[in-house]
Structures are given as structure tokens and as C-alpha cells.
Amino acid sequence: MWISLEAADDGAAEFQPGHVLGLGLKTNDSTLMRHAYTVSRGEPSARRFEHLYRVISGGRMSPLLAQLSTADTVFFHGPFHTPIEQEIQTDAEHILLISTGAGIGPLFGYVEKALREGEARPVSLYAGFREESHTCLRAELDALAGRHQRQSRLIKSRATGRREHVVQLQYFQRRSLGEQRADHKRR
């Protein structure tokens, strides 16, 4: 599930995919329950940020996050860790991203931002899920590929792994300038 938050104080809220925040909820006895959640999308100018999270059945915090309403308050502190874009080496020729489970959130947010800002290198995203019911963001990835149709292609395949694991692979590659030129000449 997604949770979208807007900072309501005067502090900086310049968060990017890959930053980790401590989110806190006041419990009935007024203590603060806190867990770490990774930023999937950030919109610094609007002071907004989004997290993708998995609801753990019987978990202490994630089921409470899923019950929140628009006017509810969530406390946050951070950021910790480094945004994904700062982890990519400047001389890398190909960007390869691998996630499991809800970890696809920040990688999706990174690819979305990178393509919007004109990233020219090929980007491949592989996402694995333990069970098919855990698979998420299919529509969002399809929409992203649709928006970058001329420069990208989205190839999806599914492999059933050993034991009970089902792995969904999604391969997202921005086409190189050479490929685009060759394609243009062919038309």
C-alpha cells in the first residue's frame, strides 16, 4: 500500500527515493510506536513524500498505517541513508536495480524520477516477490513504460521458482541513443 505524507512543520522535507525515515504513530497509551520506512517518491517543493509498505498480518505498526485517514497525524524523523541516485556511479554504463517485496517502491520512484529528468543510460529493474499475491506496481510500471514509449521498452516475464516461491521479473530498459537513431533510420 502507499502512504502519502505532507510535512506540517517548518523543517526541511527534501526527501528522495532511498532516504529512510522513522515514522511514528501515537498509540492509545500515548507512547510513540516507530518503525523505519524507505521513501519511494519525494516532492520537495510540495513538502510531500510517499512510502510503499506491506501490511504484515498481526504486525504492530503496518496494519495501523493501513487504517489511517487523511486528517490523521504521522510523526517522522530523519532522513537516514543515501538517496539511490547518489549511489549510482557517474561512470556506470548501465544501471541495474534489484528489489524484493516492497523494496520495489524506492526503485520504482528512482526510475520514474531518473527518466523524467532525462537519464540517458539503460536502466534495468528486476523485482522479485515471494508470492504472487505480493506482486505490486504492475499498473504503475506499465504507465511509466507508456509515458516513455519512444525511449524505453518494458519486458515482463514470470518464472515460478522452486518450492512455493513465485518470482515476478520486470525488466525496464531505456533504449540507448544509438538504438533510437537506428530505429529512426529504419522508419
- Residues in contact with ligand FAD by CB under 6 A are 20, 35-38, 51-54, 56, 58-62, 102, 105
What minimum distance in Å lies between the beta carbon of 17 and ligand FAD?
10
Residue 77 or residue 153: which is nearer to ligand FAD going by CB? 77
If the CB atoms of residues 67 and 70 are measured against ligand FAD, the closer one turns out to be 67
Nearest residue to ligand FAD by CB is 59
CB 125, CB 115: distance < 8 Å? no
Residue 76: CB minimum distance to ligand FAD, A = 13
**DSSP letter for each residue of the chain:** -EEEEE--SSS-----TT-EEEEEEE-TTSPEEEEEEEEEEEEGGGTEEEEE----TT-SSHHHHHT--TT---EEEEEES--HHHHS-TT-SSEEEEEEGGGHHHHHHHHHHHHHTT--S-EEEEEE-SSGGG---HHHHHHHHHHTTTTEEEEEEEEE-STT-EEEEEEEEEPPHHHHHHHHHH-
For ligand FAD, the closer CB: 38 or 170:
38
Closest approach, Cβ 51 to ligand FAD, in A, equals 5
- The nearer residue to ligand FAD, 56 or 96, going by C-beta atoms, is 56
Least distance from C-beta 65 to ligand FAD, angstroms? Answer: 8
Cβ-based nearer residue to ligand FAD, 105 or 128: 105
Least distance in angstroms from the C-beta of 81 to ligand FAD: 7
